[in-house]
Amino acid sequence: MWKAKLEGKSLPSPVAVPGRVSDPGSHSPSGAAAMDCGLAPSGRPFAGKVLGIDPSLRGTGLALLEFVPGRQPLMLHSRTVSVPSSRSMAAALAEIHRAVTRFLTEESVVHVALEQTIYVQNIRTAQILGAARGAAIAAAALQGLEVFEYPPRRVKQAVTGSGRASKTQVARMVMGLLGHGRTLSPDEADAASVALCHAMTWRG
């Protein structure tokens, strides 16, 4: 069903999934958007390139997807920014920033999408994750791009139809929607899933 929608084909009935975060700084979906089936008000599917990011200090996932009406979503590039623990936090943040900037300057990216942080184990983990997210978001902001954040459950709901789907189920669905030949790393699959969520629930 999602594949048909992304390709611009008609659906038998709307699918109830959460809508986009209408304000890049807001994390609460509106009531109207929560029942959106993923199409813009005009009925046209999302078109353009989206960079999905799964931020992590030592393993940030990046996935650049292209959406063209009438076609299957296409994975253009994906990468896991792996930074060994022997390197400092500052060096890791610089690497994340450089990697995101490279993706954005080499491609005509329309939007950047990240998974919203809902739960972290402790304050130290929250600080580290926040720093990694900041490096990625700053890179996008410096390119003048809008950044959209989606709660994990919304991403799972959009991609698999279930907000309780496992990471394995999400990864399999992502590869199925993209028709991807090779197995994606967990970080790249997560990045691709949030990019798919953005395109599926976007209301332009």
Query: Strands, DSSP E only, in the chain?
Result: 48-54, 59-67, 74-82, 109-115, 147-150
The tally of domains found in the chain comes to 1
- 20 inside domain: no
Handedness of CA 65, 67, 73, 74 (dihedral sign): negative
Catalytic residue list:
54, 115, 187
For the domain that residue 148 is a member of, what is the CATH number?
3.30.420.10
In the three-class reduction of DSSP (H, G, I as helix; E, B as strand; rest coil), residue 55 is classed as coil
Task: Note the pLDDT of residue 118.
Answer: 79
For residue 38, the model assigns a pLDDT of 40
- Whether 48 maps to a domain, the answer reads yes
| Residue at 28 is within a domain | no
CA trace torsion 130, 136, 141, 145 (10° rounding): -120
Does the residue 115 lie in any domain? yes
Is position 52 within any domain? yes
Per-residue pLDDT of the chain (204 residues; tens, 9 = 90+): 445 545 555 443 333 333 333 333 333 332 223 323 344 444 578 999 999 999 999 999 999 999 998 899 999 999 999 999 999 999 999 999 999 999 999 999 999 999 998 777 799 999 999 999 999 999 999 999 999 999 999 999 999 999 999 999 999 999 999 987 778 999 999 999 999 999 999 987
**Which residue, chain included where needed, has tokens 């991807």?**
180
For residue 200, what pLDDT is reported? 93
